[in-house]
Structure 1
């Protein structure tokens, strides 16, 4: 019966998070009401919500999401073209479990992993 999931991740700065996801990753703002301390972003069929956590220490943040995608090579190249820093342990590669993946850390160190099934 489940139909969708919209993960909620912490953010220290709404403006910084908005800028990163829109200008670097190609998301757009979702909804027509600006909620203080809350941000909803969308790209294709994916929504990510963010809640304000001003005292968050990015080095202690363990927020993570895994996003399945198609055309991962194109997405990876778009990230590189937009100056997105790829996680040092997360360059594009085929994993032993059959997924082609890459990962990045957003400004608050939320780990965002993209994966495509290779079978």
Structure 2
């Protein structure tokens, strides 16, 4: 069975607590933290995908607190069936976003991070 492999994305998720967000991404999706400078920013990577989480703390325009939990991103992966089973097993698969075929030709499912940012994981069909 093929292992999931993350392929491409460059999202920055607004969060209320970067340590909690980093722990979620590590535990639920297998990301590894690359750097943490203690200033409300976490940088993580899995395979070819890098994710940034930053604290929306109201400290500057564009960092308003209400932004945490309003972000979404889509990450292309391989091995979506195994990844979905893993996310179900650890309880992070979104109950309203189960693995399904979409009319636009992808298979995808969703998870919510601790702030309720929506992360959609999708796989394109193999090319013949």
TM range (shorter): 0.7 to 0.9
CA RMSD of aligned residues (A): 2.1
Deviations 1:27-83 (A, max 9, x none): 11013x52411110111110110111136347x843111111111001111112222
User: Where in structure 1 are there 5+ consecutive unaligned residues?
Assistant: none
SS of 1:96's equivalent in the other structure is coil
SS of 1:48's equivalent in the other structure is strand
1:28 maps to what in 2? Answer: 32
Counterpart-to-counterpart distance in 2, 1:91 and 1:20: 19
Tell me the TM-score normalised to structure 1 length: 0.83
Counterpart-to-counterpart distance in 2, 1:45 and 1:10: 21
Q: Please tell me whether residue 77 in structure 1 is matched to residue 80 in structure 2.
A: no
Counterpart-to-counterpart distance in 1, 2:9 and 2:73: 11
1:39 maps to what in 2? Answer: 42
User: Where in structure 2 are there 5+ consecutive unaligned residues?
Assistant: 1-7, 59-64
Q: Figure out how many residues of one structure are paired with residues of the other and give that number.
A: 113
2:73 maps to what in 1? Answer: 65
Counterpart-to-counterpart distance in 1, 2:69 and 2:22: 18
Counterpart-to-counterpart distance in 1, 2:22 and 2:46: 13
Tell me the TM-score normalised to structure 2 length: 0.78
